[in-house]
């Protein structure tokens, strides 16, 4: 039968490109989980995704109520869930003051990590119930959270410290808005959120892979320098970043190619290994990449998971 996949943030960039790549195989129906319904509809149309191959559903990851509502609405559709892709993200590299989600968490970690944490925890049951031969839960990671790479060493570097801001609620009132308890920095908050994404994937793997057979994976799709992710960056950066990535670092990847990579992680029969962080070499061949020490710290992953459960109301 046709597979059923939810992709968050499928209204632009990587999410849209992977929605298109999966829909075009004719083997997948894509549920585009987006905060802006009209934008998503226009994006799907202009990408040329055939109407029968997608459904748009409202999801605002910066509100836990919206996440719960989305899960209810999805269940009402009566479709199975065979794969879930946690892709959406916000990035505020120039922000000097924190902004907050509906529940009062710093926006980058609140949206990119906590919204997806609740979503994937709730939808795990739906994945379990699917009879699809290879069920997968993918959380998009990034090189920028990995301090074992050149890109991950551009300051400010990701670091979760002892998680004191996180356990305090990340609300900027009685706790810091940063996970490590430090001064707010928008670029760092994004990188920290990506470390949480990669730790979450591994913790899912440790807790649930053996019993459920679900494949949990993360990936770094390459530097897709043209997406909306950089929309809040200064204009000069937005002008120079794509050619810099193309000609200097040579890490540049087109939206189309990145979409194909994510689609592979969702459906390629050779990428079923769980607990893996995928990357691609210069010839666009996939390989299992190493995560930084912090992004693979088992003890930190467990602690981060437990605090996340409390913050989203699961514990």
Q: Which of 4, 11, 176, 308 binds ligand NDP (CB under 6 A)?
A: 11
Smallest distance, Å, CB 251 to ligand NDP?
9
By CB under 6 A, residue 61 contacts ligand NDP? yes
Burial of residue 239 (CB within 10 Å: 0-12, 13-18, 19+) is: exposed
Q: Which of 20, 21, 60, 296 binds ligand NDP (CB under 6 A)?
A: 60
DSSP H helical segments within the chain, as ranges? Answer: 13-24, 37-47, 64-77, 107-108, 116-129, 164-167, 186-212, 235-243, 255-267, 298-311
Q: Which of 229, 276, 295, 307 binds ligand NDP (CB under 6 A)?
A: 229
Q: Measured from the CB atom, is 194 or 205 closer to ligand NDP? A: 194
On whether the CB atoms of residues 217 and 201 are closer than 8 A, the answer is yes
DSSP H helical segments within 115-232, as ranges? Answer: 116-129, 164-167, 186-212
Q: Mark the segment that binds ligand NDP (CB under 6 A) among 9-17, 68-76, 200-208, 296-304.
A: 9-17
| Nearest residue to the partner ligand NDP, using Cβ | 13
By CB under 6 A, residue 6 contacts ligand NDP? no
Q: Which of 49, 59, 85, 138 binds ligand NDP (CB under 6 A)?
A: 59
Which residue, among 152, 153, 183, 180, has the nearest Cα to 165 in the 3D structure?
180
By CB under 6 A, residue 224 contacts ligand NDP? yes
Q: State the catalytic residues.
A: 190
Question: Which are the contacts of 171, defined by CB distance < 8 A and separation ≥ 6?
Answer: 100, 104, 105, 106, 177
Question: Which are the contacts of 52, defined by CB distance < 8 A and separation ≥ 6?
Answer: none
Tell me how long the chain is: 315
Q: Mark the segment that binds ligand NDP (CB under 6 A) among 18-26, 92-100, 180-188, 227-235.
A: 227-235
Contacts to ligand NDP by CB under 6 A: 8-9, 11-15, 34-36, 39, 59-62, 87-90, 111, 140, 142, 194, 220-221, 223-225, 227-229
């Amino acid at each position: 039968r046709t597979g059923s996949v939810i992709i968050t943030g499928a209204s632009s960039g990587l999410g849209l490109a992977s929605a298109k790549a999966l829909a075009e195989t004719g083997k997948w129906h894509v549920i585009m989980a987006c905060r802006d319904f009209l934008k998503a509809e226009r994006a799907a149309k202009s990408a040329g995704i055939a109407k029968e191959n997608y459904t748009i559903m409202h999801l605002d990851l910066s509100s836990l109520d919206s996440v719960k509502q989305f899960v209810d609405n999805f269940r009402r559709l009566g479709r199975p869930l065979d794969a879930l892709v946690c892709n959406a993200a916000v990035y505020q590299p120039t922000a000097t003051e924190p902004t907050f989600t509906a529940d009062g968490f710093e926006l980058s970690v609140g949206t990119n990590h906590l919204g997806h944490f609740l979503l994937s925890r709730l939808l795990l049951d739906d994945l379990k119930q699917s009879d699809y031969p290879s069920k997968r839960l993918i959380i998009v990671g990034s090189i920028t959270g990995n301090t074992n790479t050149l890109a991950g060493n551009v300051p400010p570097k990701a670091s979760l410290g002892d998680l004191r801001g996180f356990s305090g609620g990340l609300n900027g009132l009685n706790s810091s808005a940063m996970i490590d308890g430090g001064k707010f920095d928008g670029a760092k908050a994004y990188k920290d959120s990506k470390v949480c994404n990669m730790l979450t994937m591994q913790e899912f793997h440790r807790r649930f892979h053996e019993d459920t057979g679900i494949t949990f994976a993360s990936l770094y799709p390459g530097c897709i320098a043209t997406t909306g992710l950089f929309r809040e960056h200064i204009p000069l950066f937005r002008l120079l970043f794509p050619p810099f990535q193309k000609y200097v670092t040579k890490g540049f990847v087109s939206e189309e190619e990145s979409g194909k990579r994510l689609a592979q992680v969702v459906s390629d029969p050779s990428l079923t290994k769980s607990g893996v962080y995928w990357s691609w070499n210069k010839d666009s061949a996939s390989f299992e990449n190493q995560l930084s020490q912090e992004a693979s710290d088992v003890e930190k992953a467990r602690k981060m998971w437990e605090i996340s459960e409390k913050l989203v109301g699961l514990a």
